[in-house]
Structure 1
């Protein structure tokens, strides 16, 4: 599946795909969200869970240029 195909999936299909085929890597806290990082077919994907609203706000590919990377790199070794 390409990045574009994954991006265009509805949220419930992204969740299903990550649950069935993805591997959980680590969770961090980031500005009111619990962000779960998954590995899916050699791609890192972030799941932004809003615990106050009890819902997933978004699922997207890891942006390795984002400042959130420091939180991940403090805990694990990520191959980029």
Structure 2
């Protein structure tokens, strides 16, 4: 499945795919979210969970240029 195909899926379908086919890597706190990082088909995918609202706000591929990368780099081996 391509990145664009994944992005077009419903939130529920993305969750299902990550739960069944991906590997959990690490969780970080980022402002009001707990962000879970998964490895799926050689791609890193972030799941943004808003614990105050008890809901997932966003699921998308890891942006390796984002400042959030500093939270991951000491825990995983990834090239920017």
**TM-score scaled to structure 2, two decimals?**
0.96
Once residues 45 and 79 of structure 1 are traced to their aligned partners in structure 2, the CA distance between those partners, rounded to angstroms, is 15
- Taking the aligned partners of 1:52 and 1:23, their CA distance within structure 2 comes to 25
Residue 48 of structure 2 aligns to a residue whose secondary structure is strand
2:11 corresponds to: 11
Count of residues in correspondence between the two structures? 80
Secondary structure at the counterpart of residue 75 of structure 1: coil
Describe how 1:15-34 pairs up with structure 2 within 5 A. Answer: 15-34=15-34
Cα deviation per residue 1:17-48 (whole Å; 9 max; x = unaligned)?
00000000000000110000000000100000
Gaps spanning 5+ residues in structure 2: where? none
Deviation, structure 1 residue 78:
2.1
Q: Mapping of 1:41-60 within 5 angstroms?
A: 41-60=41-60
Please, which runs of 5 or more residues in structure 1 have no aligned partner?
none
Give the whole-Å Cα distance in 1 for the aligned partners of 2:51 and 2:68. 18
Match of 1:68 in 2: 68
